[in-house]
Amino acid sequence: MSVTAVENIVKKVVGEVGEEVKAMLGDGLNSSSEILEAAKKETMVEVEKIHESTKRQAETLRLRMLSSAELVARNKSLEFFEQTINEIFQKALEKLGKITSSNEYKASIKKLLEEGIDAIASKDLIISANKKDSEILKAIIKEIAEEKGLNMKLDTEPIDCVGGVQVRSFDGTIFYDNTIEARLERFKPLLRKNIALLFMGKE
């Protein structure tokens, strides 16, 4: 309700009260007018207080609703970002899955193994891979072990992954995951940043 509307109501009520006061006091019109004016001023002060309080409450409610709407919108954006990232992640895995069947993949898995060896920095290592890659790695492990003077064993239990290797020390205290999935997972923060920039219209 606006201040003007409130004032109109106050004036109407004050007018009706004034008529009653006039009837009760008869000739004491001057006195009643003073009482009436004082009452009017006091009433307007109270109306202003109520109006200011209502404005504050309305603003607080508006900010709460705005904050809630922004939170919902932000959550929806985050969900959409994650969905987009997961879709890209899945497509990348499918594409990389096809590459693991190519002749060039042997050189790639050797590089992944060497990265894992450097990360562990131990002489005694256990190498894990999926069933298909394990066959490729048998010869590679022997070659690198002789070249670098390492004691490496291929895990007899294959792991579930698209490709790549996991390298760990004999006692299992040091572990490095260099599978294709793990490498993509490490790429996700950059992927999130790039997608966010695209949505903001930046390159």
- Which pLDDT score is estimated for 89? 77
Those residues with Cβ within 8 angstroms of residue 176's Cβ, 6 or more apart along the chain or in another chain? 115, 116, 119, 120, 166, 167, 168
152 neighbors 98 (Cβ within 8 angstroms): no
192 neighbors 81 (Cβ within 8 angstroms): yes
CB neighbour class for 39 (10 Å; exposed up to 12, middle 13-18, buried from 19): middle
Q: Provide block-wise average pLDDT over 10 residues at a time, the chain (203 residues).
A: 51 54 49 52 61 69 70 72 75 77 81 92 93 91 92 94 92 92 84 70 55
Q: Which two tokens stand for residue 114?
A: 């060497």
- Which pLDDT score is estimated for 103? 74
Rounded alpha-carbon distances, angstroms, from residue 151 to 82, 123, 131, 171, 201: 42, 6, 21, 13, 52
| pTM exceeds 0.85 | no
CB neighbour class for 63 (10 Å; exposed up to 12, middle 13-18, buried from 19): exposed
Q: Which two tokens stand for residue 22?
A: 């006039």
CB count in 10 Å sphere of residue 93: 15
- Which pLDDT score is estimated for 117? 94
